Homo-oligomer: A and B are copies of this chain.
Amino acid sequence: MLYQSPLTAKFHRAFTLTSGERQALDAVRIRIVAIGANQNLVREGDQPSRCIMVLAGLASTSKVTGDGKRQVTAYHVPGDMPDLLSLHLDLLDSDVRTVSACSVGFINHSAIRLLCERHPRLAANLWRTTLVDASIFREWVVNVGKRQALGRVAHLLCEIMLRMEDAGLASDQTCAFAVTQADLGEATGLSAVHINRTLKSLREKRLTSLVNGQLTIHDWEGLAFLSEFRHDYLHSARTNKTAEFMSMH
């Protein structure tokens, strides 16, 4: 559908909207801005009065440790709302940054609050998206805590591919993933040098390749096996309990 609000599109992917919901979503003002790579969108300690929605490109949530190093805790693909949590938490505890050049939308908290008050099903689904985010955080704890380098990187690549597919941005096991090897190090808790050797190994095993910001998975089975990847933690929008439940009313 042409001229559909990105917010409408996000919900539309999850379940069938009523006309009232659709109208309310389309009515939400979104200020769209283009931003270059490696820029802060919001910073730890900020108290924003609006939320971000990634419309194009790749963003990340990260924290800086005492020695100036950065740990990425999440990547955000188009459709994600990285700081939706600022709706209920007074202070942000992480930075949200662009990784590649991005197009982002800014949505005022007040508009989202109104939406939640008037449309409980939309509220429930926004809550749900933050729960999926939490589920991904849990998997990342496992990833950095238990897997070794090869599986750890492989797991991350599997996740990115599936999430890009869900967002309709992958085809033929290929999607954009414009990260540097140093970026991957920050996300996996490995050094950039070791990321390089790990990617080389994955390439030599003919599992996957990451060149020119394009991720291609040549052997999904092999990569998933190597990384013990189970997609359940992504709670893919295709099976969406909240929508089912609430549409029973």
Contact = CB atoms under 8 A, between A and B. Distances in A.
A88 B131 contact: yes
Contacts of A22: none
Nearest to A244: B90
A189 B88 contact: no
Interface residues of A, number: 49
Interface string A69-102: 1010110000000000100111101100000000
Please provide the 9 A-B residue pairs with the shortest distance between their CB atoms, ordered closest to farther.
A145-B189, A137-B137, A90-B241, A134-B134, A88-B128, A93-B233, A66-B228, A73-B138, A144-B145
12 contacts: A65-B146, A74-B138, A88-B124, A89-B128, A89-B241, A93-B139, A123-B123, A137-B140, A141-B144, A144-B145, A145-B188, A146-B189
A63 B130 contact: no
A165 interface: no
A69 B241 contact: no
A125 B9 CA distance: 27
A233 B90 CA distance: 11
Which residue among A45, A63, A146 has the maximum number of chain B CB atoms within 10 Å of its CB? A146
Nearest to A242: B88
B65 A132 contact: no
Contacts of A213: none
Which residue among A73, A74, A123, A145 has the maximum number of chain B CB atoms within 10 Å of its CB? A145
A36 interface: no
A131 B94 CA distance: 13
Contacts of A85: 131, 134-135
Contacts of A120: 117
